[in-house]
């Protein structure tokens, strides 16, 4: 049975493309498929109340929002952590990841045909070459590259990418969500790890 606090995000103007439901991600495995979760985006109902406010704006600007991660089953988090145990990658335990509480989303804006707008990096700073490196235990180049994923990263040679990152941040803050300094795609519901928002165990049937 679905947890009473979770809502499934689906339908226009949201595009559901969960990164861990496919193999093109930093761990190189479709962990959400492996555990039977599939390409599903669930979120805490309080987060949904925020995200819904985006719908008129998205339609007016002929944009869509791609959801790349949302609620993450604790079992999936444990598997991700097993694949890449390196500190600085995944939170040390599901309890410490807002995704496992249903109170975080990883998002990107797209045009009306689903083409991603340009940003300083891909979501999760994914690049196939870096994914191969980190999977073989080599983190140096990737951790250096991660500075481009930060909100304070500036680069005059990519004004459009920087402007899109800023626009996304303004948009998400306008609906009451909070950014984290080192991942431009990740947004949290305030106080999203608390008694109000306990960890959620749920796999759809």
Question: What's the CA gap between 30 and 38, in Å, rounded?
Answer: 9
Identify which of residues 106 and 161 has a Cβ nearer to Zn ion in the complex.
106
Identify which of residues 130 and 156 has a Cβ nearer to Zn ion in the complex.
130
Q: How far is the CB of 106 from Zn ion (least distance, A)?
A: 4
Q: How far is the CB of 98 from Zn ion (least distance, A)?
A: 8
Question: What's the CA gap between 155 and 177, in Å, rounded?
Answer: 25
Residue 202, sorted as left (phi over 0), alpha (psi -120 to 50) or beta, turns out to be beta
| Site residues, Zn ion (CB under 5 A) | 106, 186
Closest CA to 149 of 137, 160, 139, 162: 162
**In a 3-state reduction of DSSP, which class is residue 174?**
helix
Identify which of residues 58 and 100 has a Cβ nearer to Zn ion in the complex.
100
Q: How far is the CB of 93 from Zn ion (least distance, A)?
A: 15
**Contact yes or no for 168/176 (Cβ under 8 A):** no
Q: How far is the CB of 55 from Zn ion (least distance, A)?
A: 21
Identify which of residues 61 and 150 has a Cβ nearer to Zn ion in the complex.
150
Maximum C-alpha span of the chain = 50
């Amino acid at each position: 049975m679905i947890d009473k606090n979770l809502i499934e995000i689906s339908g226009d103007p949201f595009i559901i493309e969960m990164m861990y439901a496919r193999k093109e991600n930093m761990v190189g495995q479709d962990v959400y498929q492996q555990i039977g979760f599939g390409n599903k985006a669930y979120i805490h109902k309080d987060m949904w109340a925020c995200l819904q406010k985006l719908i008129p704006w998205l339609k007016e600007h002929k944009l869509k929002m791609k959801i790349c991660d949302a609620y993450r089953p604790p079992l999936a988090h444990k598997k991700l952590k097993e694949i890449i145990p390196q500190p600085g990658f995944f939170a040390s335990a599901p309890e410490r990841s807002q995704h496992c509480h249903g109170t975080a989303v990883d998002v990107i804006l797209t045009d009306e045909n689903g083409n991603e707008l340009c940003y300083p990096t891909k979501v999760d700073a994914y690049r196939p070459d870096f994914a191969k490196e980190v999977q073989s235990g080599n983190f140096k180049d990737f951790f250096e590259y991660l500075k481009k994923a930060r909100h304070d990263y500036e680069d005059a040679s990519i004004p459009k990418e920087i402007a899109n990152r800023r626009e996304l941040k303004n948009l998400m803050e306008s609906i009451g969500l909070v950014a984290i300094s080192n991942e431009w795609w990740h947004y949290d519901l305030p106080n999203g790890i608390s008694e109000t928002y306990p960890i959620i165990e749920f796999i759809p049937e």
